[in-house]
Structure 1
Amino acid sequence: MVKALLVAAALVASVAVFLVLTYVRRSLLSRMGTVAMAARLSRRMEGRGWAPGFAVYRQDTLRWYRMFSLALGPRYTLSRTDLHVADKRDPAGAEAQIFPPEVEIIRCKHSGGEVELAMTKSAANGFLSWLEAAPPGAAFYRTGSE
């Protein structure tokens, strides 16, 4: 009985520590100005593989962090000079069940492959504006085939 109580207490303490650390990490990152944005981490099943997260815009990079992670670093760091918009679309199929109607999915290509990002239409406008606002001489916002 005592052993079971100790195991239960350790489990509760572990969950509490995880939640506190996740909250502290989120609070620290939110001070940098974050935007809610999901990223598709897997394409094994159609419409699946999305992870909630948030992005932090820097001068020439977008850093995407998983929402529920203890990692301090971003999962993706996308360079504006290497990022090309392949297409924009509304959620379809299973995606329409997990995302609200005001979400837009943007598929981007970069030297490391492809990434799909889901965000509200206003966040998508901000994302596209950030791409277009590249300084003179840098790469510019491109859509469609290269």
Structure 2
Amino acid sequence: MTNVAHGRARRRLVNTVKDAVRGLRTELALLNRRIGGRLELRDGDLDLLELLARLGPMGPSALARQAARHPATMTGVLDRLAKGGWLTRERDPLDRRSVVLRMRSERVTEVFALYSGMNRALDNLCATYTDEELTVIADFLTRASTASHQETTHLSDT
């Protein structure tokens, strides 16, 4: 294969990967919207709750930064999520003037139950790959997630 032909084949393969990532993003967004609807959450609420569940308790400003949201918009959202029983606000033991947000553990179980079908599908899919292939896939997805986070941060700063 010539260098030109190899370059074209490589470009097609890279574009196929990018298309697959965009397709996955769309399908996951639709799944999240459907689950959010079942839980009577607004768009974006599930993202905030997922950040709290994955990253652990944090203050409202830190959550706003992680979610790339303006801090001023967070108060109303957090009030609604607290009223709905999704999170708690606790005084920070290190700084009594600050608040720490925690997702309520019983609600985490409720969310996981709705994702159980997708988790089973992913388990079945992963079973078709070798450990070495899963290592490459996990590395790619982790690095793609990091790149996305960096671009989100960059866009937030401009």
Report which of the two structures shows the higher radius of gyration computed on alpha carbons.
2
TM-score (norm. length: structure 2): 0.38
TM-score (norm. length: structure 1): 0.41
Higher strand proportion (structure 1 or 2) = 1
